[in-house]
Structure formats: structure tokens, C-alpha cells
Structure 1
Amino acid sequence: MQMRTEVVGAGGARIGVRVAGADSGPPIVFVHGWAQSARAWDAQFADPRLRERFRLLALDLRGHGGSDVPSGGYDDPAVWADDLAAVLGLAGEPAVVVGWSYGALVITDYVRVHGTAGLAGIVLVGGITEIGKGHPGGWVGSAMRSALPDALADDIDVALPALTRLIGEMSVNPLPGAVAQAMLGASLSVPPPVRAALFSRDVDSAEVLASIDVPTLVTHGTEDATVDPRAGEYAAGKIPGAATRWWVGVGHIPFVEAAPEFNETLARFVEERAQGAPAER
């Protein structure tokens, strides 16, 4: 059974959370990317093995999906950290957090502010861990570079083609129409000022990544044109003992493009954390 609930994040913002799975299972908290929503994880919430063995929680970032849209705070690491902390509180026990794209930066913000308290493990998926000019953990690919700044525009005639093209270039093979249109709808539902505000940051995370002391898996598609795979390599090189999983021939959304394999990898990682085993390198 699936349900939606809310937690109170930084500054009193209501953060929407999608919940499913086994109440007593080890929790997995999913953090989506820029201009998307908790719906990004449909293939994980639909997987019988994940639902039967784990408690699944996926938040809508502030300004996205069903969460509140505050006027500010999008450039403050402490705000993102406290939003995620509220969801981890709902999980009720240390959770494996899975961050896709910008979601990996939100996890990095959490570690920056709260350390690894409440984390059983971390999975970064096509993620950025830094943002701003010259930060290697935030290198983007050709698809994102070509989409900006038009994807941030208030004018629908400017933003729509850029967002449509970006979503089309997230995968190596064309996405099913329903999936692509759901992703486009999620992007358009995020107000243009919020889409822009998420890029108005300059964040270095070298020391934060080096401080991570829980098992971490860095995963990235080798054909990712949205976030450069070198950003994943950078994070893996900074995080002590990080394991890696490169999805050959896959783009920015391995949890959609290679969902069965991704879900198997995730299930194994979470089960190993529950058993106290180190991440496999």
C-alpha cells in the first residue's frame, strides 16, 4: 500500500513524502533531482522485492511536487539539510539515502550540517556533490549546458522546448511516452524562480565528502549527458572507501533505463547495510 504524508522542514515548510513498503523493513529515502518529484522513483515503488523487504520513502524537494514553495532558502545548505533531516526522522531509524542528480547535492548538504547521523548508507546516482563554476563535483554534460538558461525562463515558449529536449536527452534510448511526459509535467510544475534558484549557489564539498564515514555507493551512467560522469568519479575519489557501479551504455536515469538491474543493486546494498557489511568495492 502506498500513501502520502507530510513532514515539517526548515522554516516550517511542508515537505511532501511518498511512503510504501514494509513498515518494519530497513528504510530507504529517495531524493529526486532538479525540477522533478517523488514520481521519479515510480519503478522502485512498483518493484515487489523492494516493497516487500524495505520501507520506501521519497520526498518532494521544497518548491517541487506536492511540497510547499517558499520564497527563499534555496541557496542555503542548512535548509536542504533540515528538510532531509525531517524525512529521516519519519523513517525512524538510520536509513540508506539515495540521491539522484541534484538530490546528491542535498545529501551532501545534509552531511555538511548534520554529519552522517541517521544514515545507514549513501547511494549517489548520476549525482552532483558541488555546484558553481570550477567545481569538479558539479560538472554537467552537454544536454544540461544546452538547456540553460532557457530551461529557467518564465516564458513558456522558451522554457518548454529546452525542458523537452533535456528530458529527451536524459536517456540513451527513448523513454516511454508516459514516463517522458510525466517528467516534463514535473519540470513545468516547478515555478521558474525555483528552477533558477537551485542554480544560484557556489558550493565546494571536498572536505564534506572526505568526512563521510558510512558505506557509500557511487553510480553513474557512462553515457550521461546531463551530469558528466567525471562528477561521479570525483565524488568516488573523495569519499573514503566508496564503491562504484558504472552503468555501461546508460544515461542519466539508470533507475528507469536499467530499472531491474538498478533495483537489484540497491536491494543488495541495503541488505548488506542491515547486516553490517562494508560496501563492496
Structure 2
Amino acid sequence: MLSYLHPATRLDDWAASSKPENQFDAEPNNQKRQNFSEIASGLHIPRCGASYCTPRRNVGRETNIRKVQEMTTYEIDGGGGLSLSVQEFGNAAGAPILFLHGLMQCGLSWSNQTSSPLADRFRLICMDVRGHGMSGRATTAAAYQDSRLFAEDVAAVITTLGLERPILVGASYSGLVINDYLSVYGDAKLGGINYVASTVYFGSDKANALLGDDLLALVPGLLSNDLAENISTTQDFVRLFYAEEPTREVFETVLAYNMMVPPDVRLALASRELDGDAVMSAVRCPVLITHGLKDAIVKPLMSEAIKSRIPHAEVSLYEEAGHTTYGEDTERFNRELAAFAAARVPA
């Protein structure tokens, strides 16, 4: 069992002092905020088109965040036959950990894990979620909104690479992707789940109440076809990730892979409407919930909601971290993930 913050900070204690009653229904200043779908529907941005395609190439073994260990890159056919870019690092004989990144991110998000001592013990797999990084771009908006396709993407990676009882680590938007997988395949073949500042509701008032106001204010610019506005807003979006300003090197790299996701793909992903309560209530495998208390993108109250549906989950709160605990407090994140993975359900 992982410990909480020291001095101890329990999720329920923190939430009790931070939220109004009926938080999911609460609206500050009695104003109803638009959700992602409502904002997107008023922008009249073209849907996904075939003009966006992913060039395929060999990926190098170095990033400008930090040097990574030996890497093998795969192209795996996911749901609907879409090509997925998947990178493998670490100990091929180790217990597998499958990392799923957030909205507009890519496998490089996990560089602080793949270049760490985790690679000595575990088989580390990073999947570029459909429409992101070096994975393929679908030609229809529906291909970014069908939960079964996302589920099949994850299942294809698990099956193709022979991952036995993997730990799924899902950051931010990939909380939805994990729940997509659970909705189709359940958790019987998983060793565990690590929800990392994960979104598990989307496209509703319930979801909106658990997302940061600063994030919601950026949505029109993130979906804009005006390139100057899009770049400027994406810069602001990246800055929201961190409790403290990142180095220029990190900022520029993260901005670069965020800009690889075009507006029509962003729009399609932002137009989903999902509620994870039912699938999370059925989870029986080990679960770790990780969240930074200074997160300006996904409120820690989202993790409280996950905990309420998965009572046996362990919770780790980072008092000084923002949205990216895995990059802001890497040593602690990796230590806790290693302990969680080492104690996973045996095969």
C-alpha cells in the first residue's frame, strides 16, 4: 500500500475542505459553462479529412528532453485498421507497463520514465494514441469518437506484443481511453491501472465542473483554423501543464508534438460525450490514482470521483505538482509506479 503525502493528505480530507456541496451540480456565480461539445459545435470547423496523413520513418534514439534507452518502434494495426506507432524500451523479460498519453501529446510524454531505472526492471511500452504523434490520422470524425475503436487500439497493442497482464498508465485524456478498453474487454487481463490526472467524464456539465476554467477558456483557440491563434493558444495550453515554468527545451519539445495534432482531429476528440461511472464500478484489478494538487487542467476532484467508483484504489497526491506529475516529480512518480507494478496481480 502506497502512503499518502507526508504530512498525510487524504483525498477525501482535501476534497471536503475544497469543494462545495453537490460539486458535480455546482456552477460558480450561477453561470452555466459550456462543455467541450457545445463550444465545438458553434465553431463550424471542418471535420476530419483525408488530407492529414502520417509520414512513416525510423524513430531515433534521442529526444531533446533527455536521452532515452534502446528503443524498438512498431507499427501496429489498431481499431478499423488504423496504423498505431508504438515504442518499446527496457527489460524485455520484465513485467509490462503500457503508457497512454493525454490529449495532443505523444509517447515522448513518458521520456522521464523510459530513460529511468524503470527500464532496468520493466518492459515499457508507449503508444501514440490514434491521431497523435506518429500514429495514423483517421479520415472521419467518427473514428475518433467510437469507444470500441479506442478499445481495439489498446487490445491490439497488448495482443500483438504479447503483453501479459500489463499495467495501463493513462494520463489525462487517456483516462477515457482506459475506460473505453474496460467497456469492451473488462479488466480480467490487466495487472492494474494507474489513472494519472485522468479525465473519466467528458462532454457534459458533470465533466465540465471537474475541468479547469483556464483550460475551458482555451478551447476555441485550440480548435481554431487560424494558425497564429492556434499556436498562441497551444502555447498557453502547454503552460497550464506545470505548477512551475518548465525549461525552454522541455517547453519547445512539448509544444512541437502538441502542434502535430491538427484542428480537425482535436475537434473530433473534443466532441466525445462519455461517462465512466459504470465501467469503473466494475473494476476489480489493482488501481493507483495519481494527481497533482496544483493541476490547472483536470481538478483533483476528478480523482475523487474515480476513487468513489473504485473504493479499493490507492491514491497518491502531489502537493506541489501540476498536471504532469510524471515530469514534475519524476523520482517519486517512478518509485510509486515501480512499487505498484511489482505488486501487480500474478499471472
TM band (smaller chain): over 0.9
Distance in 2 (CA, whole Å) between partners of 1:157 and 1:198 is 21
The corresponding residue for 1:132 is 203
CA pair 16-198 structure 1, distance change in 2 beyond 3 A: same
CA deviation profile, 1:217-265 (whole Å, cap 9, x unmatched): 1111001001111111101111141110111111000000000110001
Q: How does 1:131-280 map to 2 (within 5 A)?
A: 131-136=202-207, 139-273=210-344
CA contact (8 A) 2:75 2:85 kept: yes
Distance in 2 (CA, whole Å) between partners of 1:102 and 1:169 is 15
CA deviation profile, 1:83-108 (whole Å, cap 9, x unmatched): 01111112431100000000111001
CA contact (8 A) 1:137 1:235 kept: no
Q: 1:97 aligns with which of 168, 179, 184?
A: 168
Amino acid at match of 1:12: G
Amino acid at match of 2:169: V
The corresponding residue for 1:15 is 84
Distance in 2 (CA, whole Å) between partners of 1:58 and 1:12 is 19
Q: Which has the higher contact order (CA 8 A, sep 6+)?
A: 2
The corresponding residue for 1:118 is 189
Distance in 1 (CA, whole Å) between partners of 2:210 and 2:84 is 28
CA deviation profile, 1:145-185 (whole Å, cap 9, x unmatched): 12111111121111111110111121011111111111111
CA contact (8 A) 1:75 1:200 kept: yes
The corresponding residue for 1:34 is 103
* Structure 1 residue runs without a partner (length 5+): 277-281
The corresponding residue for 1:76 is 146
Residue 62 of structure 1 deviates from its aligned partner by 0.8
Give SS of 2:124's match: strand
Give SS of 1:148's match: helix
Amino acid at match of 2:152: D
Residue 88 of structure 1 pairs with residue 155 of structure 2:
no
CA deviation profile, 1:58-82 (whole Å, cap 9, x unmatched): 0001111110101231111101100
Distance in 2 (CA, whole Å) between partners of 1:184 and 1:82 is 28
CA pair 61-270 structure 1, distance change in 2 beyond 3 A: same
Distance in 2 (CA, whole Å) between partners of 1:217 and 1:143 is 27
Give SS of 2:230's match: helix
- Supply the RMSD in Å over aligned alpha carbons: 1.4
Distance in 1 (CA, whole Å) between partners of 2:149 and 2:105 is 18
CA contact (8 A) 2:176 2:276 kept: no
CA contact (8 A) 2:286 2:345 kept: no
Percent identity of the aligned residues? Answer: 33
The corresponding residue for 1:279 is none
The corresponding residue for 2:12 is none
TM-score normalised over the length of structure 1: 0.95
Amino acid at match of 1:164: Q
CA deviation profile, 1:112-165 (whole Å, cap 9, x unmatched): 111113211000001101211123498211331121111111211111111101
Give SS of 1:273's match: coil
TM-score normalised over the length of structure 2: 0.77
Residue 58 of structure 1 pairs with residue 129 of structure 2:
no
CA pair 183-138 structure 1, distance change in 2 beyond 3 A: farther
